[in-house]
Structure 1
Amino acid sequence: MTTNLDLLTAAAAKWEAMARELKKIETRYGSAVQKVVLGPDWNGLSAGVARTNFAATRYEYAAARIQAEATASLLRDAHEQFTGLRRKLRSTRDDAVAAGMSVSEQGRVAFDHDRLTDSERRAYHHDPDGQRVIREAVTRWQQHVDDRVEVLTEADRAVRTALAAVVVDSNKDAFGGGGDATLNGFNAHAEGDLAKAGARKPDRAGTRTDGWTSEGSASAKGPGAEFKVTGPKYGKEGSVKAAADLFHLSAEGTAAHGNWKLSGVADGYGGARATANYGFTDAGLVGRAEASAGLRGLAEGRGEYGPYAGVYGRAEAFAGAEANAGLKAGKDGVVVNAKAFAGAKGSVAGGGEVAGIGFGATAEGWAGPGAEAKWGVEKNDDGVYKIGGKLGLSPALGGSLGLEFTVDPDKVTRSVGDAADAVGNGIGDGVDALGDTAGALKDTVGGWLP
């Protein structure tokens, strides 16, 4: 509700400006470089190779322009759609308030007892039928709000699908079908119509069986290489990244029914990567480096009931060599870690969460020399605090164990608030007392952590 949606059109304008610059570069490349091999003065094997390569380069400039224009169009469509849907959600919230309800910042609807006079409050406490009518009204308004939020959520998923697809090379002009000679290049057939791109999901499948709704996606990338260096500036970390990827395969899926949600992900990677981050910003001191080469596979499953309860299990296998070391210290926590390993290992992990409080454990078996130590307390980008560590040792055969606790102050507050709303249906003013308790609990939990 508070997101600045104008940033979408601002970003779209920059993508359009980029497309115009790419058009200039494409034209300049054709007139200043490609034309060298198009005349009669250069013949032979080298000329043939140059013609192919120069045509492929110009094709990528044109494809990059098309992709940039499509991205800009998607962002403008997203702005228009999000703005209209948020307006409808805000109108529903206002209608609920006008009908005597209160709506929290998290979208929870409750009867607004504060608007009752003393006499109305006494009458309410002694009128079971009136309380039942109010409970039913709260349920209806909650459903109205939830429906509006779900429509916005679906729109957001469609935008995400479209933006993920627009950067994937369709390769329609490859393999003799045109001038595309780069299998993982720019997308010359990028779709800029959100209604088509968001609805068209070539790698997604959705089914609905006996009340269960399922959805899945899959992707395959590689081979590819990357080298990137950015310096610390404007309060951001500096970074160095080098990668040589042989392949990266991933698949994910979800199934939902009522309050139940099941999800799973599988991921496979082969290649070598090295990264380093460093800097001193307003968030604190950061210095870490890691490198790995080999094959890695992961499978994870999760089960959730409503927003406050869930369990997960994960299995992972690795063969190769890896090493890392890091230190992070700042207002959001402290994390220290070091690891070196060569060989093969397998790990299993599991855990759960109830009302914003979570626990997880990891066990690994190692075949090969290595050692690992990690400890930290930190707050991630979602505002969740993580506290835990991991310790491992293997002269030739060994393993590691790890524990982690998580605290999500927002979920803790909402779960207590929802409990207060439920109790309040039967005890009236108890809503206010428990609501105050929820706020106090959030402040207390926040006080425990950095």
Structure 2
Amino acid sequence: MTLNYDDVLTADLSPLADVSEAWRKMGERFGELKTDYEKHVQTVLGNGNWQGLAHGTQQQYASATAFEFGAAKKEAMAIASLLTDAHTELTRLQKAVKDLVRDAEEKDYKVDGNGKATYVGYDKLSEQEKYALRHDPDYSSLMSDAREKAQGWTDEIAKAVKAVDEADQSVKRALSRATRDVSMNGIGLGGFNSQAVGDLAQAGKPDPKTRTKTDGWVSEGETDASGPEVGTSVTGPDTGSGKLGEAEAHADLGRASAKGSLTNNPMKLEGETEAYAGIKGSVTGGITNEGIQGDTGALAGGEASAKGRADLGPVGVYGRAEVMAGAEAGANAGAGVDGLHAGGEAFAGAKGSLTGGVDLGGIGAGATAEGWAGPGAEANMIFGKDAEGVWRFAPKVGVSPALGGAVGFEVTVDPGKVADTATDAANAVGDAAGWVAGGVTSLF
């Protein structure tokens, strides 16, 4: 979740220091438990008086347990250090936002609940002074200057808020990595992290993006993986944004994603894949100046998807493949400036789907076919704009008593690509006209 101005201004960061101390004490206690276990269990049972297969098995598990106590100490101490760094860094950045707001207000700029600054200095003038101001020959330029400076304050505040959000995301990445055991030491995957890093600057870095260039082809890619992880979150209502509320819970066994591209103008190839296993559920609702929406959904099981796209100038083809095994249910409805959507689904079993289509100059058409093994039903309709600004109309229906499936189609319009295609066409016409005109002129 991206932090907004109100989140940053009202956040109470003091508990981070207390929680950090609690984690430090827990780490010390794990160290004591490791010492006690090795002294009173592992060493005593390994004195040679007990022999045989059972003894060997016990010693193997005892070594793993002792290792996990040490790993638990390492992980707890790393988290304690990360929380201390987080408290220091987030407090500093939060103060920077508050200082900006205070400076703006001291210079007669009012900052609203969304971080937008407005000049109110003229409001302090008397009625006579206001009258004189309105009849000043430079009134328009004075108002324009006030708006420009107010926008400057708004931009600076937004930049400071973004810095807090980026630091918050860094803390999230660092804590997730600290609690992720990817080694086979101890009890293997899923134990405590014996390699946890407690330095926020190091552990909180974004996953690196790779970029290479070979024989004219430029490649870019990035990957991400997490889990096991358990968590919940509840937010709202937010009177500033109009969001009524949001609740989410998950118990992830693991999730991973990767995406990349190859470009050699005018050819571009793109691909993306992701997988998830676990249990998750969410409920959201909101009423804003952009519309009204509500969604609820749940999944228990695993799902994976892959999609790819190839473009050659204005012509492109795309495809998607998805599989799911488990149980899922959901309902959604919404309407606003970016379109509308409505639908619901419930399914238990396994299903797979394929989608393919073609895009010409920013206008695309495709179809979806799904096969279901298990009972379920679905009806969905989407007409709206996605996060990348592409408008999409996509109805889909399906039913399955035991074996069945779903079918759907989609029409997409990318205004940016349409505009680019129109510009390219206009340039081509202009070049042709210039060539014809040049040819006619040369005749004379």
Identical-residue share of aligned pairs (%): 27
- Figure out how many residues of one structure are paired with residues of the other and give that number: 325
8 Å Cα contact 1:296/1:316 also seen in 2:
no
1:372 match: 377
1:24 matched to which residue of 2? 32
Aligned to 2:162: 150
Q: Which has the larger radius of gyration?
A: 2
- The secondary structure found in structure 1 opposite 2:10 is coil
Deviation at 1:323, TM superposition (A): 3.4
Ranges in structure 2 where 5+ consecutive residues have no aligned partner:
1-8, 212-219, 232-246, 262-269, 283-295, 310-317, 333-341, 358-365, 382-393, 411-444
1:165-204 aligned within 5 A: 165-169=177-181, 171=183, 180=186, 182-199=188-205, 203-204=207-208
Partner of 1:131: 143
Matched, 1:15 2:23: yes
Letter in 1 for 2:99: S
How do 1:33-432 residues align onto structure 2 when only pairs under 5 Å count?
33-112=41-120, 115-117=123-125, 118-119=130-131, 121-123=133-135, 127-169=139-181, 171=183, 180=186, 182-199=188-205, 203-205=207-209, 218-220=223-225, 248-251=255-258, 266-269=273-276, 291-292=300-301, 296-298=304-306, 317-319=321-323, 321-324=325-328, 338-346=346-354, 364-369=368-373, 371-373=376-378, 391-394=397-400, 398-400=405-407
Give the whole-Å Cα distance in 1 for the aligned partners of 2:396 and 2:47.
Answer: 66
* CA distance in 1 between partners of 2:250 and 2:223 (Å): 29
Q: Report deviation, 1:68.
A: 0.9
Write out per-residue CA displacement over residues 34-55 of structure 1, whole angstroms, 9 at most, x where no aligned residue: 1244211123444333323211
Q: Which runs of 5+ in 1 are unaligned?
A: 208-214, 229-236, 255-262, 278-286, 302-313, 329-333, 350-361, 377-387, 404-450
Instruction: Indicate how the Cα distance of structure 1 residues 99 and 17 shifts in structure 2: closer, same or farther if over 3 A, else same.
Output: same
Q: What is the CA–CA distance in structure 1 between the aligned matches of 2:158 and 2:47, rounded to whole Å? A: 66
SS at match of 2:304: strand
Distance 1:68 1:274 in 2: 26
State how far apart, in whole Å, the 1-side matches of 2:351 and 2:146 are: 64
Q: Distance in 2 between matches of 1:96 and 1:268?
A: 47
- Give, in whole Å, the separation in 2 of the partners of 1:198 and 1:16: 20
Q: Root-mean-square deviation (CA), in Å?
A: 5.1
CA displacement, residues 106-139 of structure 1 (integer Å, 9 cap, x when unaligned): 1122222662432365146852332343233224
Shift of 1:71: 0.6
Whole-Å separation in 1 of the counterparts to 2:223 and 2:367: 28
For 1:366 and 1:168, the matched residues in 2 are separated by 35
Aligned counterparts of 1:240 and 1:119: Cα–Cα separation in 2:
61
Question: Per-residue deviation at 1:8?
Answer: 1.4
Distance 1:126 1:400, change over 3 A: farther
Q: Return the alpha-carbon distance in structure 2 between the equivalents of residues 36 and 268 of structure 1.
A: 46
Structure-2 change in CA distance of 1:18 and 1:138 (3 Å): same
Q: Deviations over 1:312-351 (max 9, x none)?
A: xx975344644345799xxxxx9975324544223589xx
Find the aligned partners of 2:258 and 2:250 in 1 and give their Cα distance: 28
**Alpha-carbon spacing, 1:268–1:390, altered in 2? closer, same or farther (3 Å):** same
Change (3 A) 1:45 1:320: same
Alignment TM-score, normalising by the size of structure 1: 0.56
Structure 1 CA distance, aligned partners of 2:15 and 2:308? 35
